[in-house]
Amino acid sequence: MPPMKFKAVIPAAGLGTRFLPATKAMPKEMLPVVDKPAIQYVVEEAVQAGIEDVLIIIGRNKNNLSNHFDSVPELEDKLRAKGDTSKLQKVMASSDLADIHFVRQGEPKGLGHAVLRAKAHVGTQSFAVLLGDDLIDERDVLLTTMLAEHERTGAAIVALMEVDPDQIHLYGAADVEATDNPDVVKVKGLVEKPQREDAPSNLAIIGRYVLSPAIFEVLERTQPGKGGEIQLTDALQEVAADPTGPGVYGVVFRGRRYDTGDRVDYIKAIVQLAADRDDLGPELRPWFKEFAAGL
Ligand code: UTP
């Protein structure tokens, strides 16, 4: 059988209320992380995993997001005339990355509803969902393992990460059972944003999924859940609970992840990524040490 060809779907139509007022006129996925918008890292991750076709679900404030992945001839011409190839490459990198498409989610009715907007574009192929404000460090592997696990099992694959039990109410939590592979678990059930005492484990769903198009049929009948939103977790719970279907598996991620939709994690992401960079780290690291010593 030839290897499967996956598309990527990146929902970026949430209201981003935790980041107001920065997100009043700009999606949170466009907030810069060092010198690139968060969503560019996410598109790069999909491309790194071999995906060439990316669909971004956009909401209000769609223009600056779609403009970012478009070419800007007047800026490119200026940089070319100046012979500034390094900056020219930076400008062109985002428009040359992949075959990028956009579809509008008219109203932010939840992540499940946003994913459902991808139905026509995705067609009959399996696809990956990458949340546009959730960054996985490029030095750590996650999506490639998830795609391979989907090809092997045909199941819906979620990314799971151990979180502090005090934080589990911010995530979907998974009830799991071990498999022969220490990095893969069978998901028996999922609960969206449970209280600590109701959580089946401290394994939280983070923003990567690999799904077959069968999920659309489930999403079409999924009723609004937590927060009055159509939750992808609720649709996946139905898949996990169906004894006749391929079920849900979780790939346990133990690498570096940054949630740029949260203010504290956003600042940590910038500090960590900048400190590790060859062009910025040497100047920043001594300053960070001095600054931390004075706290
Ligand atoms: P979040 O719950 O983190 O996004 O959704 P939010 O609602 O924008 O954030 P806050 O809590 O108000 O700050 C997870 C992902 O799903 C997308 C978001 O853009 C984010 O990538 N999303 C959420 C949609 O695309 N549409 C929706 O209706 C809801």
CA atoms of 40 and 45, how far apart (whole Å): 9
- Whether the CB-CB separation of 145 and 183 falls below 8 Å is answered with yes
Ligand 1 contact via 232 beta carbon (within 6 Å): no
- pLDDT tens digits, one per residue of 178-201: 999 999 999 999 988 999 999 999
- pLDDT tens digits, one per residue of 245-291: 999 999 999 999 999 989 999 999 999 999 999 999 999 999 999 99
Work out the average pLDDT over 130-139. 94
Residue 158: pLDDT above 90? Answer: yes
- pLDDT tens digits, one per residue of 197-253: 999 999 999 999 999 999 999 999 999 998 999 999 999 999 999 999 999 999 999
Annotation: CATH topology of 7-261:
Spore Coat Polysaccharide Biosynthesis Protein SpsA; Chain A (3.90.550)
Ligand 1 contact via 172 beta carbon (within 6 Å): no
| pTM to 2 decimal places | 0.94
pLDDT of residue 2: 63
CA atoms of 33 and 18, how far apart (whole Å): 16
Residue 103: pLDDT above 80? Answer: yes
| Residue with CA nearest ligand 1 atom 17 | 14
- Whether the CB-CB separation of 105 and 114 falls below 8 Å is answered with yes
- Whether the CB-CB separation of 39 and 132 falls below 8 Å is answered with yes
Ligand 1 contact via 42 beta carbon (within 6 Å): no
pLDDT of residue 61: 74
